[in-house]
Chain A
Amino acid sequence: MNKIFLIIQREYLTKVKKKSFIVMTILGPILMASLFIMPVYLASRQDDKQLISVLDETGLFFSKFENNENYTFVPVTGGIQENKDTLMKHGNYMLLHIPATKLNIPDNAIIYSDKQPTLNMKGYISGIMSRVLEKQKLSAEIRKEILKNTPNYQPGNDTSAEDLMSETILKNIRTDVKITTYKTDEGGAEQKSYTEVTMIVGLVASIMIYMFIFMFGAQVMRGVIEEKTNRIIEVIVSSVKPFQLMMGKIIGVALVGLTQFLLWIAFTFIIITAVQTAFPQQFKKTQAEQVKISGNSVALPNEAAPVAQNSISADTGNEKVNEIFEAFSSINLPVMIMSFFFYFLFGYLLYGALFAAIGSAVDNETDTQQFMLPVTVPLILSIVVAQTVIQNPESPLAFWMSIIPLTSPVIMMVRIPFGVPTWEIVLSIGLLILGFLGATWLAAKIYRTGILMYGKKSNYKELWKWIRYKG
């Protein structure tokens, strides 16, 4: 036991002192923090006001475009070509051309610009246009209706009344649809569920597990190959059992990974807090928008036309924040955290053992390919399938992949925020522990023989022979 501790200690200290570890520890949080800070920074930056020249041949739309802090709309007349030519000379131009149509409703607009127009702007323009068109169509319908009922009605004299009417109707019928889903458990108790937050939490957890397994599993493998090519292995196995050396290495690397992980979280928080204290104004102002954007991106049809969105009140922002908090509390956090650490650790241990076995079977890293494939396939497969599982966490595919040890660490983490029956979790955990023991036993047998084999290209047949060797 004392010896395995020595091995863990050496493994840990040499890895933590490495330059690459220090660089990664510093770079990681900077990257992560910038992921948080950049959008805030970009959002808080005042964009130059965009001048949009509008050539509205229909005459229907221009008056509806409103100038705001981002856009100024200027009417232009004349032919499209001459307008383009004049504007081209100035540079930084944007020309919105709404061509006139003879028969059908003008629902076509073209933007000429020397740069990519933002989605926001396009949304704004198309929103305004569709509202105008809706109104047009509605007035036409109303007119038809009136004509049907009162054949004497003189159209054309009272169009303003029709317009007014259609506007009122449109206003009245516009409804914000907000979908709230309730999850009903067996006891019949209803629980508000927040699919989008649940999805993100599950996906982030499983991606972290996936990355951790890959990064640090590969480190275990490289460590084993290093000991083998250094020829120090024989000295060490004359002092300790190969199994102790293997487990010491796997555990040591796991601790390195956990250290890096915790340092990342700590540093990211420190950086974000520091930036927030340094520029409190920006953050106060944009916080609501931030949340708003993330709320929007999950595409719930709770907003109608994106017209009013450019000016968001702080109130709606707060509402969103509250909603996210509420969503988090709908997830069973203790279960989530505990299972995260369990799958995080055991998933890594299982794969770590397999990676160690691969490392022991080869003489250098380039020979690892043939053995890497069967180990990485379930891992990559599970991260690919994770996207599907999010859509349908109760499907048979999701069920089986969250039970089978090689894929369960990633897939189960996707499912857990949605709520998984206890027996499934217990079964999955039990099988993962069994899988870990099995993989370690198998890996130890390959490792024990492999580390002392030099210069021989090994294949699966060879590995199978090693597994059957006696002590």
Chain B
Amino acid sequence: MILQINSVTKKFGDFTALNKVSIDVPENSIFGLLGPNGAGKTTLIRIINQITGPDTGEVIFNGKPLNPDHISMIGYLPEERGLYKKMKVGEQALYLAQLKGLSHNEARKRLKKWFEKFEIEAWWDKKVEELSKGMQQKIQFVVTVVHEPTLLIFDEPFSGFDPINVNLLRDEILELRKNGSTIIFSTHNMASVEELCDNIALINKSEKILDGPVNEIRRKYSTNSYQMQYRDFTGTPYQLHEAGIDVLNSSFDNGICTATFHLSGSKGPNDLLTTMLPHVNIISFNELIPSMNDVFISTVNAENANLILES
């Protein structure tokens, strides 16, 4: 584990931003930090960045309690991000890289390399205010990773990027992981969570309500439902019902029927296929695994309903 957060609590006056949150982030992985707005994600990220400290609990980084030496090993791209508008791009990137502990020469060398890679060398002497928002985002990304941190924290990294740059950025993030970095990734875009994240933690109303590997979580939340496309149905709905199969919905288009089935009890996909095979020509068949979107919504809603009941 590169980062262990042990029972961290943080209060602002009467408001509890984090309540005994524990999270483990495995090394060399992409970790999704999810949760509705105002759940406490940003507070947690700020604690990891030592912008603020926890009231109780501890944060272990690389086996040691978090301390100022770790600042240069962490890169942070905040959601609310900006640059000094009147400063030149190059000067500013150098300044920010030096604040992370790089020497002037080393910072210049590495920045030049990144600027070449992103084909933005021409911007070096431009003022930030002359660049578009997307261009500024690229520079912010470069500045976040230039000191080659072991832990990277991206808060909504893709917002404000066009699809081409989203791709570019995603590839860079995957490459960073390949090169040994660990990435904490906070977003509301569940599709990118499914695509990128190995593990997630879900925070709601200052408490962690769910965590684990993405695949396991989705499987855990699967409801034994399947989708099948077929044509030439010759049986009757009654036969399905007898076999313990519920048809959740079905649609008919161009002679092809698409139906969703829910199996009860211990029945598996083979039972469904055995029942259906004599009556139809199957075109496709797959299990319906809930999307992270569904998991997110159903868990958060269930949790909120519980909280209301309790109070």
**Alpha-carbon distance A470/B11, docked complex (angstroms):** 9
Known contacts A6-B95, A230-B84, A231-B80; 5 additional CB pairs below 8 A are: A14-B87, A238-B51, A239-B100, A240-B99, A452-B51
Do B98 and A6 have beta carbons less than 8 Å apart?
Answer: yes
Least distance between A13 CB and chain B CB atoms (Å) = 9
**Nearest B residue to A231, CB-CB:** B82
Is B83 close to A, CB under 8 A?
Answer: yes
**Alpha-carbon distance A230/B136, docked complex (angstroms):** 12
Residues of B with C-beta under 8 A to A3? 99
List A residues 241-291 near B (Cβ within 8 Å).
242
Q: B86-97, CB under 8 A of A: which get 1 and which 0?
A: 110000000110
Q: B127-150, CB under 8 A of A: which get 1 and which 0?
A: 000000000000010010000000
Q: A220-234, CB under 8 A of B: which get 1 and which 0?
A: 000000110011101
User: With A10-B95, A468-B13 in contact, is A234–B100 under 8 Å at CB?
Assistant: no
**Alpha-carbon distance A227/B84, docked complex (angstroms):** 7
Least distance between B9 CB and chain A CB atoms (Å) = 11
Least distance between A6 CB and chain B CB atoms (Å) = 6
Do B80 and A234 have beta carbons less than 8 Å apart?
Answer: yes
Least distance between B32 CB and chain A CB atoms (Å) = 20
Least distance between B106 CB and chain A CB atoms (Å) = 14
Enumerate 9 A-B pairs (CB-CB under 8 Å) in ascending A order. A6-B98, A6-B99, A227-B84, A230-B84, A231-B81, A234-B76, A235-B76, A235-B143, A239-B100
User: With A6-B98, A452-B46 in contact, is A235–B81 under 8 Å at CB?
Assistant: yes
Is A454 close to B, CB under 8 A?
Answer: yes
Do B13 and A234 have beta carbons less than 8 Å apart?
Answer: no
Is B53 close to A, CB under 8 A?
Answer: yes
- Interface residue from B13, B55, B82, B96 paired with A230 (Cβ < 8 Å): B82
Least distance between A461 CB and chain B CB atoms (Å) = 11
Is B52 close to A, CB under 8 A?
Answer: yes
User: With A6-B98, A238-B49, A240-B99 in contact, is A230–B12 under 8 Å at CB?
Assistant: no
Residues of A with C-beta under 8 A to B85? 230
User: With A14-B86, A454-B80, A470-B55 in contact, is A235–B71 under 8 Å at CB?
Assistant: no
Is B34 close to A, CB under 8 A?
Answer: no
The 4 closest A-B pairs by CB, nearest first: A231-B82, A239-B99, A234-B78, A230-B82
Is A151 close to B, CB under 8 A?
Answer: no
Is A469 close to B, CB under 8 A?
Answer: yes
User: With A3-B99, A6-B95 in contact, is A465–B13 under 8 Å at CB?
Assistant: yes
Is B33 close to A, CB under 8 A?
Answer: no
Do A238 and B76 have beta carbons less than 8 Å apart?
Answer: yes
Is B201 close to A, CB under 8 A?
Answer: no
**Alpha-carbon distance A307/B77, docked complex (angstroms):** 80
Residues of B with C-beta under 8 A to A226? 84
List B residues 98-140 near A (Cβ within 8 Å).
98-100, 140
User: With A452-B51, A471-B53 in contact, is A238–B71 under 8 Å at CB?
Assistant: yes
**Nearest A residue to B153, CB-CB:** A238
Binding site for A on B (CB under 8 A): 12-13, 46, 49-53, 55, 71, 74, 76-78, 80-87, 95-96, 98-100, 140, 143
Least distance between B129 CB and chain A CB atoms (Å) = 10
Binding site for B on A (CB under 8 A): 3, 6-7, 10, 14, 18, 226-227, 230-232, 234-240, 242, 448, 452, 454, 465, 468-471
Residues of B with C-beta under 8 A to A238? 49-51, 71, 74, 76, 78
Residues of A with C-beta under 8 A to B99? 3, 6-7, 236, 239-240
Q: Which of B53, B78, B100: most chain A Cβ within 10 A?
A: B78
**Nearest B residue to A9, CB-CB:** B95
Residues of A with C-beta under 8 A to B82? 230-232, 235
**Alpha-carbon distance A470/B52, docked complex (angstroms):** 9
Least distance between A464 CB and chain B CB atoms (Å) = 10
Residues of B with C-beta under 8 A to A234? 51, 76, 78, 80-81
Least distance between A238 CB and chain B CB atoms (Å) = 4
- Interface residue from B12, B98, B140 paired with A235 (Cβ < 8 Å): B140
**Nearest A residue to B53, CB-CB:** A471
Residues of B with C-beta under 8 A to A227? 84
Residues of A with C-beta under 8 A to B140? 235
**Nearest B residue to A14, CB-CB:** B87
**Alpha-carbon distance A471/B84, docked complex (angstroms):** 27
Residues of A with C-beta under 8 A to B80? 231, 234, 454
Residues of A with C-beta under 8 A to B143? 235
Residues of B with C-beta under 8 A to A468? 13
Q: Which of B46, B51, B78, B96: most chain A Cβ within 10 A?
A: B51
Least distance between B92 CB and chain A CB atoms (Å) = 9
**Alpha-carbon distance A237/B46, docked complex (angstroms):** 9
Least distance between A107 CB and chain B CB atoms (Å) = 68
Least distance between B306 CB and chain A CB atoms (Å) = 29
Residues of B with C-beta under 8 A to A230? 82-85
**Nearest B residue to A469, CB-CB:** B12
Residues of A with C-beta under 8 A to B77? 235
**Alpha-carbon distance A230/B80, docked complex (angstroms):** 9
**Nearest A residue to B72, CB-CB:** A239
Least distance between A260 CB and chain B CB atoms (Å) = 18
Do A471 and B52 have beta carbons less than 8 Å apart?
Answer: yes
Q: Which of B49, B74, B82, B95: most chain A Cβ within 10 A?
A: B82
